[in-house]
Structure 1
Amino acid sequence: MGDPERWLQRGSALADEGGADEAEALALLRAAVAAGHGPAKVRLAEFLLLQCATADAASHEEALRLLREAVAAGVPGARNMLGVTLWDDGALDEAETLLRAALADGEPDVAVNLAGVLHQKGADAAAFALLRQAAERGDGVAYWIVMRLLPAAGRAAREVTMAYEAATSPEERPVCVMLIPGAWELDPSVLPVD
């Protein structure tokens, strides 16, 4: 009949295209989920939350259910996506717990999300420390945020840049990162004094 991994790949590609292909994308992703493909649960949830033109409260609840099932099954990326979704929903404590667990397991792209939750909770010192560590390990988005916060000619900015460049190659570094104005206005007292 078919292969759930192929359904996932094709459904994901169609979901990215959007428009008239949404119904087919949804059908393929649902078929992969019905076949027991764990990563398809995460991708279907992402589609329902972020891409589906007909998204509503019911699709949001379905996405939360799919993500919780994927977390319980240990699907990579599920805790990060559920954490971000709960953050959006205002469930900051649960989001923080999930994102901390994902970070401890080494899931990529979690540090900036966890730092965002910490910032929203008013823990700017912890958020900055996490962003700085991530930047020094080669996280491009974290690097852009940290460099936006630090004085460009300061010692801390030089240290972060040297560590970031040692951890990455020029091909890996993002050319640009879109930051929402005001999104990372951390308390200046938590930043290093240069």
Structure 2
Amino acid sequence: MATTKWKIDPAHSEIQFKVKHLMITNVTGYFEKFDLEVETEGDNFTKAKSIVFTANVDTINTNNQQRDTHLKSADFFDAANHAQLRFVGKQFEPSGEDYLLHGDLTIRGITKPITVKVEAAGTVVDPYGQTKAGFTVEGKIRRKEFGLTWDAVTEAGSVVVSDEIRIHCEIQLVKQA
């Protein structure tokens, strides 16, 4: 069967994360510039031959410039030395009505295996004749496993930033001609 190439539609996709601040509220952030390329066998995503996602760390945005500058610093992502984070999918498997995507995530030069839940929303042809596929991706990682180890504790003993990061992505792929 022929290989089908898919590319992310950045205008209709979002790459977000949430992290607990002071363990009482969530701060939401996202990456403004990212890329995703997928190769499938025909249009069958369960037979994906290649899944490669990258995000430009320098485009991190939490709607607070001071916090964003800190996140780009060596305390966190170290954007000067590690310009991108990268996920390479290894296996896309059915799990009930959804899917599990296993792969390797690299942040700050540290690569760890992760698994995310994927909900497939379907495939449609848009008014311009383009075939598009939609997915919602959710997962969790531990930031300290990737070298994002900055910590602070309040006078009352509360952690300022949690170790757990929740990932939420809305992905729209465009079938390439």
Q: TM-score, normalised to structure 2's length?
A: 0.23
Point out the structure with max Rg over C-alpha.
1
**Which of the pair has the greater relative contact order for Cα pairs under 8 Å at 6+ separation?**
2
Higher strand share: 2
